[in-house]
Amino acid sequence: MTEILKAENDQQVLETLKWAAAEEKPLEVRGGRSKSSLGRPTEIDHVLDLSALSGVTYYEPSELVLAAGAATPVAEVEAALTENNQQMAFEPPDLGPLMGIAAGQGTLGGLLSCNLAGPRRIKAGSARDHFLGFNAVSGRGEEFKSGGRVVKNVTGFDLSKLLAGSYGTLAVMTEVTLKVLPAPEKVRTVLISWSKDGIYDHGGVKALTDAMASAHEVSGAAHLPAAIAKRSAVDYVAGSGRAVTAIRVEGPEPSVAHRCDALKSLLGKYGDMEELHTANSTVLWREIRDVACFADEHDRDVWRISVPPASGSRVALKILEGRPGEALYDWSGGLIWLALNPTPDACASVVRQTVAEFGGHAMLVRAPEAVRLRVPVFEPQDGALENITRRIKEGFDPHGILNPGRMYEET
Amino acid sequence: MLMPEPDNAIIARREEIIEAMRGIVAGEGVIFGEEELRAYDCDGLMAYKQLPLIVVLPETTQQVSQILKYSHENDVKIVPRGAGTGLSGGALPLADAITLGLGKFKDIVEIDFENRCVVTQPGVTNLALTQAVEHAGFYYAPDPSSQIACSIGGNVAENSGGVHCLKYGLTTNNVLGVELVLMNGDIVRIGGKHLDSDGYDLLGVIAGSEGLLGVITEVTVRILQKPETAKAVLLGFDSNEAGGDCVAAVIGEGIIPGGMEMMDTFAIQAAEDFVHAGYPLDVTSLLIVELDGPAAEVDYLVGRVEAIGRAQNARYIKVSESEEEREKFWSGRKAAFPAVGRISPDYMCMDGTIPRGQLAHVLNRMAELSKKYELRVANVFHAGDGNLHPLILFDSNEPGELENAEKFGADILRLCVEVGGVLTGEHGVGVEKRDLMGEMFTEDDMKQQQRLKCAFDPEQLLNPGKVYPTLHRCAELGKMHVHRGQLAFPDIPRF
């Protein structure tokens, strides 16, 4: 029987963790529950519910800094930022629908704990690059903080980076501080429509790396094979029945117009060129950001694969050889979202062998619980790195009370 | 500056250690003569000097691994050193430690334009990195002002910034991977040409770790295509408040300039006397705002910045009309440190960051402190991100002036923390700000940070005495002070 402990404030988080550390009671750390199926499945008797730690506590648009309770809904933060024409530049994805739940459930703490980022990752960095500081309670039952409320700071180890992507296994964040940035005035997308029929994954990734190597400050670079493009809500993308490569530029109007023209002449050799303006661009990049193309067929396993951008299509096509599935390319080819027909091991060995050949790592994002127990969800570590991971965990959470097993079976 | 008590047992074994090192690094790579060691007795923070036990200059990762393995097994401390340009004493030698210099790691390993990255050895200078790729229009964005001399390995260790980091990020945002040798000699690769880390973000904590976690033997950095063009706007104001308000207005209008620098009266005057940059001398604060990108964007944004300047009552506005003029505008700012060095026998450069809204308050308080300590201070300032560089002028030949300048500097940093800022924006803690860490962090905060070090270097042999004021043994840090049954059951809602 799961028991839910609902902390109403920082002090109760501290008390709960002191108790859990003393009694060696593992806790599942929960914000909005939107990512509960992300990571290894765990069976933990006690849940620490942080949902009360919600609300923006500090926001100075001209300082480019925002602080909020860890369980503040991402949507609430986005609304506050939009009012001031600002944004979280790493373009937080909403993976709810991909994971089979409603959109809009995510919290700031969850977003940072999983270090997620959308298409703008290639220009603006990931959540970790915008994470300035936090207050937290360690698995030792001790309050500590790191970082600050200014955008430039090298005082002490950068523990924000460590907590970003630690899936709640090191400490329970109570308040987080982010760097925010102005939202762009205009958005446009240059589309390359490839000839009918044929596989254009290699061509698409080549076009993306060409665009990224230009001076045009590309802020989104994705390739949609024909079958994926067909499922877009944007007519220009879906209508042609062709593979589509999408390149986004953002900024003031004169700049965006100039860079679009320059990109069209740079990439015209690849196929027919089309241009999307702000409204259609917004829809398309949200679809890419949230991996909407794989949100409907829930029986398929989904991998998130990070590789050197130029090798994206080679990695994906090699895995897909003889295996029914689809690949969506983001981050100029450096991020592959791969959907595969269900198998007992989600094709883990071929995925990991192929990724190892090119450098990078793979995470099994969506698969039945039994599969995610059988197959390492995160890239397995070995030797010295595994030792460091284990020792870091012990330093922050010696009794293993925080989300034990969420990342690796042993930590 | 109090450093950890040297271990005389290690010093007594100096000859044996030299022999062991010569067995690993042949010929001139092991330095032990007093005259030769003198060249390594400090880094860019020249107020503190100490001769190292010996200096070793390996040439391969294998040698680094063997040196660390030997040192680990023999309890010998290691102080890693890049180009020695650091400003916080991070590479200050210890009497009982080997200074491990990476100066011979001078090769660029691979240039990969398709993946927009360069794989390089750590001893390559920041500027040489850019020079290696500029034939194809690329550059490496972070540009600390020491870029002609500082090494990329040191940049990673210090998480260096520069005038362009508001728009392009610090080193940590531009590094993709490292090869790192751990204190026990293990060689690990973290990151690579891909973007995201797997598992805990070790790369993120290595950037800015000031040589406390491992020795970097290879770095992969992202490179960018150079902006098509750039223009700089000079804006002069009657008060620091007005200058600060203009910075806030530029950002408030959604403009993130490539660079946005501010100078106070004293710094303007010193720079103008030195390099004749064409700065107005009748203003209290001067802004340099640089816009970069395609010409269409730059012209548009320059127009908007001019309009903001007028609305903020700038008494002087000038836009660079040529590349030559843009560089001239920058020449004064870039020469600010030597310009101050010219009019004072010594100066000390501070590096706090503050919320920008506090600028006028902080500058006024600094003027009061200047009177109190009877020492002059010039201010240059990365205005976009709130990073202050007050330059305190003093004469170390005058008895007590260095100590007075140190106290003045410490008061400035306390002030930064008091208004919601931090001790260091880009120069690092090193030894210089080590004893001020308690102004910003509680004992528990620092202990938790040190537990991270314990995961990498449990015996604390790497760069001890830097960053953290108190050395705790890892075994002590690992202890849990909880007692079953003595804690109140948490009084919180349960479902």
Q: Which of A312, A318, A317, A374 is nearest to A343 (CA)?
A: A374
Signed CA dihedral, B236, B242, B243, B249: sign only: negative
With CB atoms and an 8 Å threshold, state whether A391 touches B248: no
CATH match for A292-374 among 3.40.50.12780, 3.40.640.10, 3.30.70.100, 1.10.1240.10: 3.30.70.100
CB A190 within 8 A of CB A262: no
Token representation of residue A44 = 């933990």
Q: What is the mean pLDDT of residues A348-375?
A: 97
User: Quick check: A152 and B487 CB within 8 A?
Assistant: no
Chain B residues whose beta carbon lies within 8 Å of the beta carbon of residue A205: none
| Residue with the two structure tokens 């080549």 | A206
Domain A186-289 identical in fold to domain A292-374 = yes
Percent of chain B whose predicted confidence (pLDDT) is above 70 = 97
**Residues A47-75: pLDDT tens digits?**
999 999 999 999 999 999 999 999 999 99
Using alpha carbons only, what angle is made at residue B236 by residues B230 and B241, rounded to the nearest 5 degrees? 115
What residues of chain B lie within 8 A of the CB of A63, using their CB? 355-357, 386
**What is the per-residue pLDDT across B96-141, written as a single tens digit (0 to 9) for each?**
999 999 999 999 999 999 999 999 999 999 999 999 999 999 999 9
Contact status, residue A263 vs residue A214, Cβ threshold 8 Å = yes
- pLDDT reported for residue A297: 82
From edge to edge, which strands make up the β-sheet containing B387-394? Answer: B316-319, B229-237, B285-293, B259-264, B377-382, B387-394, B346-349
State the SS3 of chain B.
CCCCCCCHHHHHCHHHHHHHHHHHCCHHHEECCHHHHHHHCCCCCCCCCCCCCEEECCCCHHHHHHHHHHHHHCCCEEEEECCCCCCCCCCCCCCCEEEEECCCCCCEEEEECCCCEEEECCCCEHHHHHHHHHHHCEECCCCCCCCCCCEHHHHHHHCCCCCCHHHHCCHHHCEEEEEEECCCCCEEEEECCCCCCCCCCHHHHHCCCCCCCCEEEEEEEECEECCCEEEEEEEEECCHHHHHHHHHHHHHCCCCCCEEEEEEHHHHHHHHHHHCCCCCCCCCEEEEEEEEECHHHHHHHHHHHHHHHHHCCCCEEEECCCHHHHHHHHHHHHCHHHHHHHHCCEEEECCCECCHHHHHHHHHHHHHHHHHHCCCEEEEEEHHHCEEEEEEEECCCCCCHHHHHHHHHHHHHHHHHHCCCECCCCCCCCCCCHHHHHHHCCHHHHHHHHHHHHHHCCCCCECCCCCCCCCCCHHHHHCCCCCCCCCCCCCCCEC
**Three-state DSSP class for residue A219:** coil
Average pLDDT of the segment spanning B416-445 = 96
At a CB cut-off of 8 Å and minimum separation 6, what does A43 contact? none
Please report the pLDDT score of residue A298 as a whole number.
86
Domain limits, chain A: 49-182, 186-289, 292-374
Q: What ranges do the domains of chain B cover? A: 8-101, 108-225, 229-337, 344-428
- Cα–Cα nearest to A34, from A114, A89, A91: A114
pLDDT at A119: 98
Residues 6+ apart with CB under 8 A from A211: A190, A218, A221, A247, A263, A266, A267, A332
Note whether B254 contacts A: Cβ–Cβ < 8 A. yes
> How does residue A196 score in pLDDT terms, banded at 50, 70 and 90?
confident
**Distance in angstroms (rounded) separating the CA atoms of residues B86 and B46:** 10
Architecture (CATH level 2) of domain B108-225: 2-Layer Sandwich (3.30)
Is residue B54 scored above 60 in pLDDT? Answer: yes
Task: State both tokens at B48.
Answer: 């503190």
State how far the Cα of A335 lies from the Cα of A222, in Å rounded to an integer: 9
CB contact under 8 A, B254 and A185: yes
Residue B195 and residue A306 in contact, taking contact as beta carbons nearer than 8 Å: yes
CB-CB under 8 Å, A153 with B353 = yes
Q: Which of B194, B448, B487 sits opposite A360 (nearest CB)?
A: B194
* Residues of chain B numbered 364-393 and touching chain A (CB < 8 Å): 382, 385-387
What is the arithmetic mean of pLDDT over B68-82?
A: 98
Residue B485 confidence (pLDDT) above 60: no
What is the SS3 assignment for A369?
helix
Interchain CB distance below 8 Å, A213 and B113 = yes
70-99 in chain B: CB under 8 A from chain A: none
| Residue B436 token pair | 């001020």
B199 vs A contacts (CB less than 8 Å): 165, 378-379, 381, 385, 389, 407-408
* Interchain contact B473–A (C-beta under 8 A): no
Residues 6+ apart with CB under 8 A from B184: B68, B69, B72
Smallest Cβ distance to B199: which of A146, A212, A378?
A378
In angstroms, the CA B141 to CA B165 distance is 8
What is the per-residue burial (b if ≥16 Cβ within 10 Å, else e) of B225-251?
bbbbbbbbbbbbbeebbbbbbbbbbbb
Cα–Cα dist A328/B366, whole Å: 55
Burial of B321 (0-12, 13-18, 19+ CB in 10 A): exposed
Counting residues of chain B whose pLDDT is more than 90, the rounded percentage is 88
The CA-based dihedral angle spanning residues B174, B177, B180, B182, taken in that order and rounded to the nearest 10 degrees:
90
pLDDT in tens, B269-297: 999 999 999 999 999 999 999 999 999 99
Question: Which one of A18, A143, A158 has the shortest CB-CB distance to B172?
Answer: A158
Interface contact A391-B426, CB threshold 8 A? no
B62 touching chain A per CB within 8 A? no
- A61, closest residue in chain B (CA to CA): B252
What's the gap in Å between the CA of A254 and the closest CA on chain B?
Answer: 6
* Average pLDDT for chain B: 94
Residue from B389, B376, B372 nearest B344 by CA: B376
The CATH number, out of the four listed (3.30.70.2190, 3.30.420.40, 2.102.10.10, 1.10.150.570), of the domain defined by the range B229-337 = 3.30.70.2190
> In chain A, what is the straight-line distance between the N-terminal and C-terminal CA atoms, in Å?
23
Phi, psi of A327 (to 5 degrees): -125, 135
pLDDT at B242 over 60: yes
| Amino acid residing at B422 | V
CB A372 within 8 A of CB A41: yes
- The CA distances from residue B267 to B285, B309, B331, B337, B370, in Å, are 9, 21, 13, 9, 15
Three-state DSSP state, A318: helix
Q: Is A122 helix (H, G, I), strand (E, B) or coil?
A: helix
Is B192 in contact with A360 (Cβ distance < 8 A)?
yes
What fold, for B344-428?
A: Alpha-Beta Plaits (3.30.70)
Distance CA B154, CA B158 (A): 6
CB contact under 8 Å between A154 and B427, yes or no, is: yes
CATH for A49-182?
3.30.465.10
Residue A97 has φ and ψ, to the nearest 5°, of -55, -35
The pLDDT value given to residue B494:
61
Interval B85-95: pLDDT, tens: 999 999 999 99
What are the tokens at B52?
């190292």
Inter-chain touch A65–B355, beta carbons under 8 Å? yes
The answer to ipTM > 0.95 is: yes
Q: State the amino acid at position B180 in one-letter form.
A: L
pTM exceeding 0.90:
yes
Which residue's entry shows tokens 């600390």? B144
Rounded Cα–Cα distance for residues A227 and B5 (Å): 69
Are B83 and B125 within 8 A, CB to CB? yes
Q: What is the pLDDT of residues A292-341, one digit of tens each?
A: 999 988 899 999 999 999 999 999 999 999 999 999 999 999 999 999 99
Q: Is the pLDDT of residue B162 over 90?
A: no
Q: What is the nearest CA distance from A289 to chain B, expressed in angstroms?
A: 16
Residue B323: left if φ>0, alpha if ψ -120 to 50, beta else—which one?
Answer: alpha
Q: How many residues does chain A have?
A: 411
Q: Is B444 on the interface with A (CB under 8 A)?
A: yes
Would the CATH topology of B8-101 be identical to that of B108-225?
Answer: no
pLDDT at B490 over 70: no
Contact B217, B121 (CB under 8 A): yes
> What pLDDT band is residue B495 in, cutting at 50, 70 and 90?
low
Q: Does residue A218 or residue B356 have the better pLDDT?
A: A218
Q: pLDDT category, A147, cuts 50, 70, 90?
A: very high
**Domain A186-289 has what CATH class?**
alpha beta
Q: What pLDDT does residue B354 have?
A: 96
Specify the pLDDT at position B71.
98
Q: Which of residues 1-60 of B touch A (CB under 8 A)?
A: none
**Among B131, B106, B100, B99, CA closest to B120:** B106
Mean per-residue pLDDT over chain A, rounded: 96
The pLDDT of residue B491 is 61
CATH of domain B8-101: 3.30.43.10
Q: Give dist(CA B215, CA B185) in Å, integer.
A: 10
How confident is the model at residue B341, as a pLDDT?
86
| Single-letter amino acid, residue A320 | L
Nearest CA to B153 out of B61, B240, B28, B252 is that of B61
What's residue A48's pLDDT? 97
- In this structure, the strands spanning A244-251 and A186-193 are antiparallel
